[in-house]
């Protein structure tokens, strides 16, 4: 019982992080019907950027957090401007190859800047872990979950209540109709990229105290985030949150009770199963169009 609870706690923490990454995929997919294969690399940039700013340059934590997220959002802005906007034939296969190229490129840059070694950061706040029926719950886990839920609420409010958010939704439904009503369509795509990469960076900064960070961490995290987004139904914010938590807990239980070496294979197996059986996700009601 104690063991089970412990696995669930660590699964919840990881799941919360997958959920934030999944939010990034969902924001971008919702607005542009595009899947960014480089999304995991923005998570890596956020994590390593924070470590450099906070530990390397000794900038106070609060400012370093904001700077790291803004910096990554700026890279997302440049990425859309330079590599996505310039494409003459925006077919899926072309965009897949470009975003895969961007992912490899950013990973290469990460390796040059931060080297091949893993980096880590101390906990943001130090509290003693809470004892729940013998299992240890880190305070860190609680605030990570809090951040994730708050972020999902904020994004939900943005898309449903604000004019810009509604305009983004409109642009994703029909490019032409949105343009006719005076919505600057291209700005909406740009905004979606910036928002998506910024949430990727948020995932990166909250992961720093709980795991070792290195230049190649992005691929796995990106895939797991995508798996979570698919589980919850791609494009849905609350689905992303639920999908992330489900994946995190399943993975942690699998690693604990079956084999830790195959931990990553669980996520991919789940991804394949979802793609084959129910591409609309567990929580998605509509049948998703598979292109």
Partner 1 sequence: MKAFTRNCSEKIMTQSSLHETLRIGLLAGAVAAAGILFDNAYHIQVLVFIGINTILTLGLNLLMGYTGQISLGHAAFYGIGAYTSAILTVHFQFSPWLALVPSLGLAVLVALIVGIPTLKLSGYYLAMGTLGFGMIVFIVFRELDFWTGGSSGLAGIPSLKIGPVDLTSGRNFYYLVWGAVLGTLVVSRRLIESRVGRALRSIHGSEHAAMAIGVNTQAYKLQVFVFSAFLAALAGFLYAHCIGFISPGSFDFMASVRMVTMVVIGGMASIWGALLGASLLTLLPEWLHAFAEYEMIVYGLILMLVMIFLPQGLLRGLLDIYERSRNA
276 forms part of the interface with partner 1 (CB under 8 A): yes
Q: How far apart are CA 291 and CA 280, in angstroms?
A: 12
Look-up of token digits 């109709």:
177
34 versus 202: smaller Cβ distance to partner 1: 34
101 forms part of the interface with partner 1 (CB under 8 A): yes
100 forms part of the interface with partner 1 (CB under 8 A): yes
Contact region with partner 1 (CB under 8 A), list: 13-21, 134-142, 240-248, 258-266: 258-266
In the list 1, 58, 60, 112, the residue contacting partner 1 (rule: CB under 8 A) is 112
111 forms part of the interface with partner 1 (CB under 8 A): yes
Report phi then psi at 200, rounded to 5. Answer: -60, -45
Q: Encoding tokens for residue 214?
A: 């290195």
100 versus 149: smaller Cβ distance to partner 1: 100
In the list 7, 18, 37, 114, the residue contacting partner 1 (rule: CB under 8 A) is 37
Return all residues near 283 (Cβ < 8 A) that are at least 6 apart: 231, 232, 233, 236, 238, 239, 242, 243
150 forms part of the interface with partner 1 (CB under 8 A): no
In the list 4, 74, 97, 130, the residue contacting partner 1 (rule: CB under 8 A) is 97
92 versus 146: smaller Cβ distance to partner 1: 92
181 forms part of the interface with partner 1 (CB under 8 A): no
21 forms part of the interface with partner 1 (CB under 8 A): no
Which residues on neighbouring strands pair with residue 130, listed in sequence order? 137
In the list 60, 128, 261, 287, the residue contacting partner 1 (rule: CB under 8 A) is 261
Q: How far apart are CA 33 and CA 26, in angstroms?
A: 9
290 forms part of the interface with partner 1 (CB under 8 A): yes
Q: How far apart are CA 272 and CA 285, in angstroms?
A: 19
Q: How far apart are CA 149 and CA 241, in angstroms?
A: 8
Nearest to 69 by CA among 161, 158, 194, 173: 194
93 forms part of the interface with partner 1 (CB under 8 A): yes
149 forms part of the interface with partner 1 (CB under 8 A): no
Asked if residue 92 lies in contact with residue 291, where contact means CB atoms within 8 angstroms, the answer is yes
Asked if residue 140 lies in contact with residue 13, where contact means CB atoms within 8 angstroms, the answer is yes
Report phi then psi at 184, rounded to 5. Answer: -75, 95
Report phi then psi at 151, rounded to 5. Answer: -65, -40
Contact region with partner 1 (CB under 8 A), list: 3-11, 14-22, 138-146, 263-271: 263-271
Nearest to 31 by CA among 179, 156, 185, 177: 185
Q: How far apart are CA 242 and CA 121, in angstroms?
A: 28
Nearest approach in angstroms of CB 133 to partner 1 is 33
Contact region with partner 1 (CB under 8 A), list: 42-50, 81-89, 155-163, 201-209: 81-89
6 versus 103: smaller Cβ distance to partner 1: 103
271 forms part of the interface with partner 1 (CB under 8 A): yes
Asked if residue 97 lies in contact with residue 83, where contact means CB atoms within 8 angstroms, the answer is no
Nearest approach in angstroms of CB 61 to partner 1 is 31
Half-sphere exposure of 212 toward its Cβ, with a 13 Å CA cutoff? 6
Site for partner 1, rule CB under 8 A: 34-35, 37, 83, 86-89, 92-94, 96-98, 100-109, 111-112, 219, 223, 226-227, 230, 259, 261-262, 264-265, 268-269, 271-272, 275-276, 279, 290-291
């Amino acid at each position: 019982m104690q063991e089970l609870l412990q696995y669930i706690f660590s699964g919840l923490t990881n799941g919360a992080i997958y959920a934030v990454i999944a939010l990034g995929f969902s924001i971008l997919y919702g607005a542009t019907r595009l899947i960014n294969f480089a999304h995991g690399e923005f998570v890596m940039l956020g994590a390593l950027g924070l470590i450099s700013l906070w530990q390397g340059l000794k900038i106070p934590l609060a400012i370093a957090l904001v700077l790291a997220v803004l910096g990554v959002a700026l890279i997302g802005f440049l990425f859309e401007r330079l590599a996505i906007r310039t494409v003459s034939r925006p077919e899926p296969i072309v965009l897949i190859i470009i975003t895969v190229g961007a992912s490899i490129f950013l990973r290469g840059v990460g390796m040059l800047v931060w080297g091949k070694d893993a980096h880590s950061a101390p906990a943001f706040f130090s509290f003693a872990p809470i004892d729940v029926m013998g299992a240890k719950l880190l305070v860190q886990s609680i605030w990570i979950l809090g951040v994730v839920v708050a972020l999902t609420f904020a994004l939900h409010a943005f898309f449903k209540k604000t004019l810009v958010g509604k305009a983004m939704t409109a642009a994703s439904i029909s490019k032409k109709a949105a343009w006719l009503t005076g919505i600057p369509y291209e700005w909406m795509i740009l905004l979606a990229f910036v928002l998506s990469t910024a949430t990727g960076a948020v995932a990166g900064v909250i992961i720093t105290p709980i795991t070792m960070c290195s230049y190649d961490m992005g691929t796995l995290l990106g895939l797991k985030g995508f798996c979570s987004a698919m589980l919850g139904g791609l494009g849905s914010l609350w689905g992303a949150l639920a999908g992330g938590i489900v994946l995190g807990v399943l993975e942690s239980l699998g690693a604990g009770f079956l084999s830790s070496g195959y931990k990553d294979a669980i996520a991919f197996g789940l991804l394949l199963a979802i793609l084959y059986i129910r591409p609309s996700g567990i929580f998605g009601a509509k049948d998703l169009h598979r292109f």
